[in-house]
Structure 1
Amino acid sequence: MSDQLHKQHSELAKLIERYSGRDGVHATSIPSLFFMRQSTAAGPAYGVFKPSLCIVVQGVKDVWLAHERFRYSPTDYLVASVDLPVIGKVVESSPTIPYLAIKLEFTPKQIIEVLNDFGNRVKPKENAKRAMFVSQIELSMLDAVLRLARLADNPKDIPVLAPLFVKEILYRVLQGPYGTTLEQIAIEGSSTYRIKDVIEKIMNNYSRSFRIEELAKIANMSVPSLHRHFKEVTAMSPIQFQKQLRLQEARRLLLAESTDAADVAFQVGYESPSQFSREYSRMFGLPPIEDIKRTRAQHAQNISP
């Protein structure tokens, strides 16, 4: 790492520590910008990535999309261009050198605005690409991220300067080696754009059953084309995608409430509690009730004095 990159990471680390104070994900006064802190290499954590750019300032993290691992550290950045159910695990962290990171969420509309401003007229492409990638961070991008994060100390500047800095950051991603991958999510008519519509349909209706022909119609694709493009974008089939959403929501409900596992199974769309228990165990390593007991015990241990 160059001296300048190290200097920028050091300043970002101080900013994150000052506005975080404790482990967790912390919203900032800057729209769509979050600071993350974790002092133990705990995990895994299950959730849905919104379209976002993630930069590690200290530590190392793995993100699993289906069976693919994406590892990133302070020399990299990670981008998710659509909503994706993932498993995250911080693999390098300690109380003295905690994992620190920044997440900037964005929308396809913001990507279009950047493309329009810089005169890029992008044509839709037929071949969809994976909607998650890791790339080496450049000094110019980190500089823009640092200027955005500094606005936390100058809230009166946020309404004017934050949109400009976000636009510059997205421009840097679009100019990078995976820029065309990000472009396609915003270009109406592209295969990736049409798969995004299917993802949104499943996300908003994960508890109901879909016929694959219905999803293919949304994408204006044949059934084989839908399967091929959907798997290229998400690394899983539409059914596997929906199953991960259901199981993640079931786990969230079980952790948040004293709810019967069978009731939760029906809430998230399962007709058979036994099938729910089998698939839950396959994903989380234990049957529902045992997994919740283990997770709560680990959480209590992490927050104990």
Structure 2
Amino acid sequence: MIHFDLIAEICETVRGEPEDAAYYPTALAGFGLLHDIKTKSIEAQVYEPIACLVLQGKKETRIGDRLVHFGAGDCLIVSHSIPVLAAVTEASRQKPYIGLVFSLDLSILRGLYDEAGSATPSIEAAHSLTASKASPDLVDAMTRLFRASQTTTDAQVLAPMISREIHYRLLQSDHGGMLRQMLWRDSTASRIARVIDVIRADFRTPLPVSDLARTAGMSVSAFHAHFKSVTAKSPLQYQKDLRLLEARRLLSHGMLSVSQAAFDVGYESPTQFSREYSRKFGVSPRQDIGTQSAA
């Protein structure tokens, strides 16, 4: 059950902050607040491995052919870094979209499995992005973490223990199947996570699929299938999304020209870049120059 006094506390915390911001970090690394006062159209972005407890409002996220809706009382779990299309579908100044965002730490998850592995639910078919009703225990732990983040001493002393508890609650959740798969270093989910790290670290450089498959320790065909099952994209589509999203960031901040942005993210042809950019975002790259600076 959502603590309505928590919603009031969060609204008070962001009072006076810029209204065009959607994410507000706390004193705890990897833990922040979402607060939107208006709905937002679909945006392409990359979701990091996180858990997001929604306290108010609604959002939808598309990954491949799957459309995931979540709202007040739901917890979204994202196990891998994945490009998605997302939109805030219910929010207003009187009733903002509010959520708590918690970054996942795989080392903590694995440490918990060493202690409580036999007590975790069995592994079932799982997705890298899924949402379901949060348990009362998870809501309580996230609430305590937010309150601890508001006091320096509590943040230092209590937050590490509460963070560990949240990881445990997520492992135990009905929709934490992909997290449970991530616990084994040699699992398919862990291998794909390693490859994602490689692509993200060097997305500007051509990366042969055969090399990525070798990193995963799989045949090319098996790697392609498993990568797509986790990210809903082929490895090359995934890399292309990273390039285009980075180019949009550079252009929107007025940092580069269209040609410069194309070359900076790894395109050899500005014409091809413009074509793929327009197809991805629905506007030409030139239309996006300086939009963030203007806002």
Which TM-score applies when normalising by structure 2?
A: 0.91
Q: How far 1:291 sits from its partner (Å)? A: 3.6
Give the corresponding residue for 1:69: 67
Output aligned runs, 1:137-152, within 5 Å: 137-152=134-149
Q: What does the per-residue CA deviation read over 1:86-138, in whole Å, with 9 as the maximum and x for residues that have no partner?
A: 2221110111111111100012101112212324499xx8x984311111111
Contact 1:198/1:219 (8 A) holds in 2: yes
- Tell me how large the CA RMSD over aligned residues is: 2.2
Moved more, 134-143 or 242-251: 134-143
Task: Kindly provide the CA deviation profile for residues 23-43 of structure 1, in whole angstroms up to 9, marking residues without a partner as x.
Answer: 321110123110111111123
Q: 1:16 aligns with which of 10, 19, 22?
A: 10
Q: Which residue of 2 aligns with 1:168?
A: 165
Query: Aligned residue for 1:266?
Result: 263
How far apart are the structure 2 equivalents of 1:133 and 1:213?
30
Q: CA deviation at 1:45?
A: 3.5
Partner Cα distance (1:93, 1:222) in 2? 46
User: Matches of 2:66 and 2:262 in 1, distance apart?
Assistant: 27
* 1:210 matches 2:207: yes
Task: Give runs of aligned pairs for residues 11-90 of structure 1, distance below 5 A.
Answer: 11-21=5-15, 22=17, 23=19, 24=21, 25-90=23-88
**1:130 and 1:234 in contact (8 A); partners too:** no
CA drift of 1:258 comes to 4.1
Are 1:283 and 2:283 counterparts?
Answer: no
User: What is the letter of the counterpart of residue 13 of structure 1?
Assistant: I
Report the secondary structure of 1:29's partner residue: coil
The answer to whether the 8 A contact 1:49-1:85 is kept is: yes
**Equivalent pair of 1:41/1:90 in contact (CA under 8 Å):** yes
Superposed displacement of residue 296, structure 1: 4.9
Structure 2 CA distance, aligned partners of 1:53 and 1:117?
Answer: 22
Aligned twin of 2:183: 186
Q: Unpaired segments of 5 or more residues in structure 1?
A: 301-305
Q: Amino acid of the residue matched to residue 88 of structure 1?
A: A
Matches of 1:258 and 1:77, distance apart in 2: 36
Are the counterparts in 1 of residues 54 and 99 from structure 2 also a CA contact under 8 Å? yes
Kindly indicate whether the alpha-carbon contact (under 8 Å) linking 1:128 and 1:192 is maintained by their aligned counterparts in 2. no
1:220 to 2:217 alignment: yes
CA contact (8 A) 2:203 2:239 kept: yes
What TM-score, normalized to structure 1?
A: 0.89
CA distance in 1, matches of 2:166, 2:119: 19
* Residue 230 of structure 2 is aligned to residue 236 of structure 1: no
Against the structure 1 CA distance between its residues 46 and 19, is the aligned structure 2 distance closer, same or farther, given a 3 Å change threshold?
A: farther
Identity of aligned residues (%): 34
Comparing 171-180 with 185-194, which one deviates more in the overlay?
171-180
Deviation per residue, 1:217-266 (Å, 9 max, x gap): 00000000001100111111101111110000000000112421011111
* 155-164 or 141-150, larger mean C-alpha shift: 155-164
Q: 1:173 to 1:49 in 2, by over 3 A?
A: same
Residue type of the partner of 1:173?
L
Residues 234-243 or 78-87, more deviating: 78-87
Q: How many angstroms does 1:44 deviate by? A: 3.1
- Whether the 8 Å contact between 2:253 and 2:292 is mirrored in structure 1 is no
CA distance in 1, matches of 2:288, 2:188: 38
Quickly say closer, same or farther: Cα 1:16–1:217, change in 2 above 3 A: same
CA contact (8 A) 1:284 1:291 kept: no
Deviating more after overlay: 164-173 vs 63-72: 63-72
Report the alpha carbon displacement of residue 76 of structure 1 after superposing the two structures with TM.
Answer: 1.0
Tell me if structure 2 keeps the 8 A contact 1:82–1:185.
no
Q: CA deviation at 1:75?
A: 2.5
Which residue number corresponds to residue 242 of structure 2? 245
SS of 2:53's equivalent? strand
Say if 1:63 and 1:292 are closer, same or farther in 2 by CA, change over 3 A.
farther
SS at match of 1:178: coil
